[in-house]
Structure formats: C-alpha cells, structure tokens
Chain A
Amino acid sequence: MKDIIDQATVRAIEFNADGATRTFFERLRERRFQSTRCGACQQVAYPPRLFCAACGHGEVEWVDLPRRGTLHAFTTQHRSLRFFDPDVLGLVELAGVGFVLSKIDAELDALSIGQEVEVDYLEISGDLVVHQFRPV
C-alpha cells in the first residue's frame, strides 16, 4: 500500500509540476534545501519558480534556504494518506522567505510557537525525499 501511495505521489508531483519543481525535489534527494532567488530584486521565493513572481524578472538562481526558522504554528492530522499518528505538521517561517509547510519531527506537547527549528531530510522512498524540521 505504501508503494502505491509513494509512486502515485511522485507521478502527481510530476503531473502538477512547473519547471522549478523537478529541481527542488532533485536537490532534496541530494540533501540540499534550496529555492530560487530573483536576479533583480533579490527576493527568495517559496515555492521556487523559474521567474520572479514578486517583480516579474525572468532570471533566477538556485540558492540555499535558511536551515533554521521559527515555528509559526503547528498541529496534527489524523487522516493523512502518508503518515500515521502522531503526525505533526507545522508552518515554519524562514526569514526573508515566508511560510513553509513541513513535517515536524517532535512530540506535539514539546512544541511551542516561536520555537527555533532546523531543517532535516526524510526519505519517503528512493525517488522522494521531503524536508522536515525539528526543534534545535
């Protein structure tokens, strides 16, 4: 069952992808947490894009995202297609970038708003690595 969900997820990522999506997940497989920065206004985007959605400029470069951020909010989900209870999700605020939804590798009761968290990688399958965060 896990194989079916994983394979369908990889196919769905491809199906819904824009030109930057494939690179984003390639970098995660290489254990790099990256996104795109505008060559003109310098805005770092999340999610990444092959153009700048802030100013419309057409040239961007791939840069490392901040490895640490603050936990803006967090909760759990029960009916996940992927992870089983307890499945903690959080919204991490990266300075200068904005909100990133991710899995939080911690007990719910151990978390608090504003806490510093650091990125790590979670291998779902050989083809799919996602980012997750845990308290520093």
Chain B
Amino acid sequence: MSTEVALIGGAMSPLTKLMSEPSFDLVRTTIDAAIQDAGVDRAAVDCLAVTPPGMAGHNTSMFVSRLNAHMGLTLKSLACLENGGCSSALALRWAINEVRSGRCRVAVAVGADQRLQTLPEENESWETFLARNVFATMAIYGSYDGPYGLGAPIPYYAMSAQRYMHETGATAEDLAWAAVRLREHAHQHEHATFKGKRLSVDDVLSSKLLSPPLHLADCSQFVSGAAAVVVTSADVARSLERRPVWLRGFGQHHHPSSFTAGAESLTRFPAVQEAAQEAYAEAGIAAGDIDVAEVYGVFSSTELILTEDLGFFPRGQAGAAFREGRSTYGGDVVVDPSGGRLSLGHPACATPLIEVLEILLQLQERAGDRQVPGAEWGLVHAEHGMLNGSQVTVWQGDDQ
C-alpha cells in the first residue's frame, strides 16, 4: 500500500563560479529557504536526504551526520546519496520512498556542489597539487581511460556528438540551435549564469573548438550552488497553502557501463529510454502529453539526443525541432525553461533538484516570466556516467 507523494516547495541558491561560502552555510540556508517556501514547520521535517557537497572529493566523510548536528533537526530518516550526476535525484528518491512507505510525512531532499580552486591552495606545492588532481581525475575515469589524461568528460561527449551527426545527418548548426534555445530561456531566470548574454548560432560556431565537433558554447559551465525541495504525504500537502504537485510516474534504469567501455551506442541510451518508459507507464501517459521538461543535457548534442530518447522527437529530428521552435514556448513541449545546464549553470550534484524546482514552479504556476501557459504535466530527467544510468520522474499539477 503506497501513499501519494506531493512536491510542495523548494529553493535554490545563487550559482557562483567557485564556492562562495562554507558547505554547511550553503546547504543550511538552502534547506531553510525550501522549508519556508513550502510553508511547513521546521520541527515537522522528519526526513533529510542530501548529496556529498560536490564531486571535488573534499569534506565528504560523514558529511550528513555532521551537517544535521549543525542544523539541529530531530529526524526519523537521514541519508547521504551519491552517484555522480544522479546524486540529488537519488536523495529525492530516498525522500519519496520514506514518505510513500508511511514512515515519514515531511521530507527534504537537498543537493549541493561546491567547486574548489583549480590552482594550488595556499601553502600547497605544485607537486602535491598535481598529484592530488591526478588522483581525483583517475578516480572518475578509472584505471583504463584515466591514464590518457582526461581532465573532463568533454572528449566522450564530443565523440557522441560526432557519431550523432554521422548517424543522423545532423549538422553543427543543429547542435548550436540547442544552445541558442537554452540561452533564450535563461534570460528569464534570475540565477542564470548567462542571463542577459545573447547567443546566436554564429556565436556558437565561432566560439573556441574545445573537442571537435563541440565548441565552448556547446558545453555547460560547472558552477557551485545548491537546491532543495520538500515532499510530503497527501494529508500534509492538503493542509498547506501551496498547491501540491503530484508524483505520477517514476523510472530508473542503470546500464552495466560507465562512460564508453561496455556501452552499446554513443547516440542512443537505453537507460534514458527504459527510465522514461517506466515513468510514462506508471503515470498512464505518453511522451506527447508532457507540457514542460527539465533534462540533464550537459552538452548541446546531449540535449538533442535526450529529447529523442525521452520520446519528444523522432530519431534524428531533434535538431530540426529545436530550430523550428518545437522545443520552446508555443511548440510541442518546452524543454528546459530554466535555461538548462548550458545557460542556467551546472552544479552537478545539485542539478537534478534545480530541475525538480523548475518543474515545481511551472506546475504551481509560479514561474513568472518563464511560465509555460497551462502546464499540467512535467518531466524531470537526471543521469550519471555518460547517460549510462538515468532517473525520470513525471509530475502533475493539482486540478483543485
């Protein structure tokens, strides 16, 4: 017997290039802002699920235990979840499951990512700094890919983009259109990294070629930031002023691969397709019913591929769909009204909850200038590896 779960409120921090304040302060203020937005009593919170404070590998041991001692909450559930880009999506799942089971009634999920200086710390020698960076990147890319000196996942995605163009006939202009649409959306978001900075297809194509065919403007920018959301049982939700947003479908799938070794394709991702189908089936809807979506597209090419794997556009036609305006206001589905990873900014551990927050605001009709008129059904997608694993949630606005 499962209980209905509602999303009630949430908050995000400003996004900054490097960590702007200590982890505890960033996480605590974001959690308290989410609780205040939801209109629940702080003492009523009985579940807290968090991510480690970033992928930089610092300050993570027993983080959640120390964090909650700092916050002073008395809880029935406390957990720290980590799986790369999916981390805060898993914190959300933990919160959902605790409410669904009936054990908890007011659960907070929070994700935070804090980027550190990319130069040696004070009093740190270059030798120690270099060795530390080698260890950090080798931990991500492993013993087989790591020795080739990968410092970022851009080459993997560049090869995915090259294959996508090769297999579907998509052009560099098609990829650029994804970046342009996201930039258009970002102008309406107060926290967008690239708010107010115009971007054209020519701008994308003339930006620095990082890893061909990907230009700088095809890539997202890593930033620091945090986001938190509050989920509650139906009875709690009905007692609050905010209109509930109901969880209708949940899907999660993990292919036995991480990055390219063991993968079947660089242009179609079974984890995305399977997670989406599971979520649509539970919700009893089809991809075409979704009004607004937030997807974990960290590169322009991935943005296109994701909208195909999620079923919004047919294989190989996402580029045309973005160019023709079918992914924006007045089109088939509004993809990433927040500006997405490319133009809002990408604090990886927090990104899935930034996406959830955007869908919450859209389905509560609180999204202001970027409101999708009449939005009823929303979708959130999160992933880890190179789309080797994915989570998809489907949400419905309240009709009362």
Contact = CB atoms under 8 A, between A and B. Distances in A.
A binds B: yes
Interface of A: 1, 4-5, 7-9, 11-13, 15-17, 21, 24, 46-47, 53, 72-83, 87, 89-91, 98-103, 108, 113, 124, 128, 130
A83 to B, nearest CB: 6
B262 interface: yes
A127 B160 CA distance: 32
A16 B143 contact: yes
B166 interface: yes
Contacts of B256: 53
B267 to A, nearest CB: 10
Contacts of B101: none
Interface stretch (B50-58, B145-153, B194-202): B145-153
Max chain B Cβ within 10 angstroms of own Cβ: one of A9, A90, A102: A9
Contacts of B143: 12-13, 16-17, 21, 47
Interface in B278-310: none
Contacts of B263: 98-99
Interface string B136-162: 011100111111111110110011101
Contacts of B262: 46, 98-99
A12 B159 contact: no
Interface stretch (B6-14, B22-30, B127-135, B349-357): B127-135
A108 B162 CA distance: 13
Contacts of A5: 130-131, 134
Nearest to A28: B147
A48 B260 CA distance: 15
Contacts of B134: 5, 8-9, 12, 81
A47 B144 CA distance: 7
Interface of B: 126-127, 130-131, 133-135, 137-139, 142-152, 154-155, 158-160, 162-163, 166, 210-214, 256, 259-263, 266
B131 A8 contact: yes
B365 to A, nearest CB: 43
A9 B146 contact: yes
Contacts of A11: 135
B151 A89 contact: no
24 contacts: A4-B130, A9-B134, A9-B147, A16-B138, A16-B139, A21-B143, A21-B144, A47-B143, A47-B261, A74-B162, A75-B213, A76-B155, A76-B211, A77-B152, A78-B210, A78-B211, A80-B149, A81-B150, A81-B151, A83-B148, A89-B159, A91-B266, A99-B261, A99-B263
Contact of A13 (B133, B146, B159, B163): B146
A79 B261 contact: no
A12 B151 contact: no
Contact of B166 (A7, A53, A78, A113): A113
Given A4-B127, A82-B148, A75 B158 contact: yes
Given A4-B130, A75-B159, A75-B212, A46 B261 contact: yes
B149 A83 contact: yes
Contact of B162 (A77, A100, A113, A130): A113
Contact of B131 (A4, A16, A53): A4
A17 to B, nearest CB: 6
Contact of A12 (B126, B138, B152, B155): B138
Nearest to B263: A99
**9 nearest A-B pairs in the assembled complex, by CB-CB distance:** A82-B149, A73-B159, A12-B138, A80-B149, A8-B134, A75-B158, A8-B131, A81-B149, A13-B143
Contact of B149 (A47, A73, A75, A87): A87
Contact of A101 (B139, B148, B214): B148
B149 A77 contact: yes
B264 to A, nearest CB: 8
B262 to A, nearest CB: 6
A27 to B, nearest CB: 13
Nearest to A17: B143
